[in-house]
Amino acid sequence: GKNEYDLLVIGGGSGGLACAKEAAQFGRKVAVLDYVEPSPQGTSWGLGGTCVNVGCIPKKLMHQAALLGSALKDAQHYGWNIAQPVHHTWSVMAQAVQNYVKSLNWGHRVQLQDKKVKYFNMKGSFSDPHTVHGLTKAGKETIVTADNIVLATGGRPKYPTHIAGALEYGITSDDLFWLKESPGKTLPSFILYVSLECAGFLTGIGLDTAVMMRSIPLRGFDQASQMASLVTEHMESYGTKFLKRCFPTKVEKLKSNRLQVTWKNTDLGTEESDSFDTVMWAVGRAPDTKTLNLETVGVKTNSETGKIIVDASEATSVPHIYAIGDITEGRPELTPTAIAAGKLLAQRLFGQSSELMDYDNVPTTVFTPLEYGCVGLSEEAAVQCHGSENIEVFHAYYKPLEFTVAERDATQCYMKMVCLREREQRILGLHFIGPNAGEVIQGFALGIKCGATYPQLMKAVGIHPTCAEEVTKLHITKRSGLDATVTGC
């Protein structure tokens, strides 16, 4: 028989919604299934996916709250008289953030309606390659059939279930942004950008925060010039405590309702413990594919990561079933790539386009107290790919003008550009630590997409006074061993 829909998207997040709305533009009959399984702590949210509800959006807003705390301190140096002490109230911030997120949930529902995309708040699972069984929270069932199905169910935070008490007493980023009361003294655990970003803003709003890390910070990001350690060094000077080379062994609840965390310090070979109000796990995210019933239809996943294997056109191992966003193997876990991939997929399916998503040179930013923006290859990747004799790394330590009067420490404000050494000197990667890193990197990402070379960048005139202009002035190489501190105007 004929399928009910041209396209069914399972997962109403960044990728899913973009794909659905794009397909609807071509006059197709589209449906979206979105469902949020409550976290172990019971947290849930509306339409929009991770980014809107428990990711980029609330994260950046809370990061902004923390930055404003710094601004309050700076302001005194710039002549503003603010009576001390200054307090931060979590509930005021949380409510404002949550209200904004809810307005976005509403906005997404309205958009789907406007574009005539059918929305089901249901959990979906495959019955056969063109049939999905949907279940509401209340237990009501619906069958949906479609010619094409796109899986965009994203990921959820992992729990270190081998640690006693981890599941019962710990929270994750899924819960953090929806807390009504302050998390108090917090221990986000392990190092991923989520962990550092959260620890960063929690410290910034005045909470006593410690980060426990088993090994290296920011695995996967640039290591060599210690972009990662510059970021964490700054956080340390900013007030976040780091428990390095430690891993927790158990979490227990105390009579006071606080949590006692016990851990092994691998450096000293000792066992230590301390009490916290909140323990937050940020040990990675796992693809949300368990309830999809992928085995029934034969969609292949990576046995190690559980992510769905796709080809360059986002096709899975089953015809007419596609996957985009965080659940796909080998793709960056970023909202803009999911959105772009979703749109292009819809254009290929229904719009006679053949354009594939280009995952190269995707810029990104980690919104730690001192932000880190990057695009292209890390130094290690460049060395691995081309050999250290074939690459040149230009770098500089700089001081943002606004830090001068504010008497802020700019020790970790740093940038580096990784280029090929031969004739053209094409730029392979750009890394920037400093305020507004995302704003700085975005335009250069464009340049790199255009094949920008070092000489071209040097011809570009700087805008003065900004931090970004320092990129156009990079000239000291790591190879030279010279002092890379920017001096003077």
Is 128 annotated in some ligand binding site? no
The two three-digit tokens of residue 353, written as one number: 């386009």
Task: Kindly compute the dihedral angle of the four CA atoms of residues 245, 249, 253, 259, in this order, to the nearest 10 degrees.
Answer: 0
Indicate which single residue of 111, 229, 262, 466 sits in contact with another protein (rule: CB under 8 A): 466
**Contact of 133 with 213, CB cutoff 8 Å:** no
Q: Does 396 bind another protein (CB under 8 A)?
A: no
Number of residues interacting with another protein: please give it, by CB under 8 A: 82
Q: Please choose, from the candidates 330, 322, 335, 277, the residue with its C-alpha nearest in 3D space to the C-alpha of residue 104.
A: 335
- Site map (CB under 8 A) of another protein, residues 160-199, x = contact: ----------------------------------------
Indicate which single residue of 27, 37, 38, 89 sits in contact with another protein (rule: CB under 8 A): 89
Minimum distance, C-beta of residue 175 to another protein, in the bound complex (Å): 18
Query: Looking at beta carbons only, is 163 or 205 nearer to another protein?
Result: 205
CA distances from 94 to 117, 170, 177, 179, 373 (A): 31, 19, 7, 7, 26
CA distances from 355 to 9, 20, 202, 325, 349 (A): 20, 18, 42, 17, 11
Indicate which single residue of 50, 335, 368, 412 sits in contact with another protein (rule: CB under 8 A): 335
Query: Quick one: angle between helices 193-204 and 227-238, nearest 10?
Result: 20
Alpha helices in 250-378 (DSSP H): 294-297, 335-350
- Site map (CB under 8 A) of another protein, residues 26-55, x = contact: -------------------------x----
**63 is an active site residue:** no
Q: Please choose, from the candidates 378, 384, 371, 379, the residue with its C-alpha nearest in 3D space to the C-alpha of residue 442.
A: 371
Query: Looking at beta carbons only, is 220 or 387 nearer to another protein?
Result: 220
Is 342 annotated in some ligand binding site? no
Q: Does 87 bind another protein (CB under 8 A)?
A: yes
Catalytic-labelled residue, pool 133, 162, 320, 464: 464
CA distance 350 to 41: 41
Q: Does 106 bind another protein (CB under 8 A)?
A: no
Minimum distance, C-beta of residue 364 to another protein, in the bound complex (Å): 6
Chain residues 353-382 in contact with another protein, contact rule CB under 8 A: 358, 361-365, 373
Is 60 annotated in some ligand binding site? yes
The residues pairing with 322 across neighbouring beta strands, listed in sequence order, are 150, 315
Q: At a CB cut-off of 8 Å and minimum separation 6, what does 148 contact? A: 6, 7, 8, 320, 321, 322, 349
Minimum distance, C-beta of residue 453 to another protein, in the bound complex (Å): 8
- Binding-site residue numbers for FAD are 60, 124, 326
Catalytic residue annotation: 464
